[in-house]
Each structure stands twice: as C-alpha cells, then as structure tokens.
Amino acid sequence: MKDKDKSNGKGPASKRPTLDQNVQVHIGRKLKAVYEEVATAPIPDRLVQLLAKLEESQRK
Amino acid sequence: MTISPRLREELLGSVRSLRAFAVSLCGQPDRADDLVQETLVKAWSNIDSFQEGTNLQAWLFTILRNHYYSEIRKRRREVEDADGHYASRLATHPPQQGHLDLADFKVALRQLPDDQREALVLVGASGFSYEEAAGICGVAVGTIKSRVSRARSHLAKALKIENEADMGPDSTTEAVFTSLRQRRA
C-alpha cells in the first residue's frame, strides 16, 4: 500500500508565520478597549436631536 | 414609510457602534459624528429598501462606509493636496487621548492602511463575521481574512509584541472591564 500523499506539512501554500495566539488576544483586547471608549460614550446632543427629528417626521 | 417599533429600537441601538466605527475610519470625532448623522438620514429615508429580518447593523455600516469613501473621493478631486492628505491627517489629528495605556495602540492603529484597519475593526471590535465584513466592504471573504491578518502583524510589529514576553502586565483587561461595567451601570 502506498503512502498517502504526504506533503510533510509544508505545502506551496505555506503562509507567513501566524502570530502567537496570545499576541492575537492581546491585540484584540486593546482594539476592543479603543472601540468601547467611543461606543460606551454618551451619544452627542446633535445626534439625539436628529433622531428625535427623524422619529417626529415618521409620525406625520 | 413606516418603521416598525422593533426596527426603530434596533436603529437607535446601532448609533453607538456606528460612532465607534466612524471614528475608526476617519480618526476625528467631529467628522465621525457628521458621518453618523448622514448615515442615519440616509438609512431613515431608504428604510423601505431594507429587508427586515436581515442584518440591520451590517446595512448601516455599509451605508456609512460607502458614504465615507465617496466623500474622500470627492474631496480628492476638489483639493489636490500636494502635501499628501494621509500624512497631514496623521500629523494634525492625534488620536483621542484616553487611557494612557492605549495611546501607543491608537497611534499604531491609525497608521495601518485604511483597508486593513477597517477589516480589523469590523471583525475584531464590531463583532461581525468575516462574511459580514466582506459584504460591508464589498470584497471576498479571503480578502478580509488576509487584511485582518496583515493588520495584526503590522500592529504586533509596531508595538513590538511579537512574543508573549513583550506584552507586560495587562492593564488593558482592566480598562475593558471598567468600560463594560460603565455600560451596565
């Protein structure tokens, strides 16, 4: 019986080394923290007013 | 046009993440709010073209993103900026000051190419799947995957955290928890 085509792991598709899992997690946390800084901030007045206006226009 | 109460709730609920995405795109809080404002107006007047039950958030992000890039194209035509618009934008609009620990990260994030940064933010922070992010950006899923991976490598290099030993104590975790607590409060 022949060996199945073993490419020894390193096929032509071998890509650049992937980052350490922990580094990915670390970057992910920082990224979320930066994002949440804005996403958890209060919505500015002008947007609140705009939303109110849009809702008002819907009722008409 | 009619907007169901559920759709309305969802729409209102998306404003915060739209703002966060807009800031990540343009780097300027004021301009980000302009973008969100224009997005809401567009969404509201085109709500009939939205299929209820599909992903509203992805639809809104797509509107905002398309609007942002069409504005950039317009501005480029209007103003031939000899100094290079990107470099000057970096120089004159430093990232928002916040948690000190995040300052370096923000600079590194801002220096990523636009396409890589948006892919990373959509997948890594906005919570979209690769497929959804691909839909929002109008590219193939594989393209998003490779952009995200390149973005991470760039960041790791810029922040010199290519292995675990470089990371140091993780005060960021605390910042995330703090912001989550604030959100619940």
Residue-wise pLDDT for B156-177, tens only, equals: 999 887 554 455 555 455 555 5
Asked if B96 reaches chain A (Cβ–Cβ under 8 Å), the answer is yes
- Nearest CA among A43, A23, A29 for reference residue B102: A29
Model-level ipTM above the cut of 0.90:
no
Choose from A16, A24, A38, A58 for mutation: most chain B CBs within 10 A.
A38
Cα B23 to Cα B17, B41, B100, B109, B111: the distances in Å are 10, 18, 18, 12, 14
pLDDT of residue B162: 56
Q: How far apart are CA B71 and CA B62, in angstroms?
A: 14
Range A35-56 average pLDDT: 91
Contacts of B162 in chain A (CB under 8 A): 19-20, 23
Sign of the four-CA dihedral B21, B24, B29, B32: negative
- The answer, for B70 touching chain A at a CB cutoff of 8 Å, is no
Q: What share of chain B is helix, strand, coil (3-state, %, to 5)?
A: 75, 0, 25
Distance CA B44, CA A16 (A): 44
Q: Is the dihedral of CA A51, B69, B137, B17 positive or negative?
A: negative
Q: Are A34 and B125 a contacting pair at CB < 8 A?
A: yes
Q: Residue B38 corresponds to which amino acid?
A: E
Q: Per residue in B7-37, pLDDT tens?
A: 888 888 899 999 999 999 999 999 999 999 9
Residue B80 corresponds to which tokens in the numbers above?
């031939």
- Helix, strand, or coil here: B175? helix
State the 10-residue block means of pLDDT for chain B, 185 residues long: 78 92 94 96 91 90 96 80 50 46 90 96 97 97 97 91 54 56 58
Q: Do A23 and B167 touch (CB under 8 A)?
A: yes
Is the overall model pTM greater than 0.80, yes or no? no
B146: how many CB neighbours lie within 10 A of its CB? 14
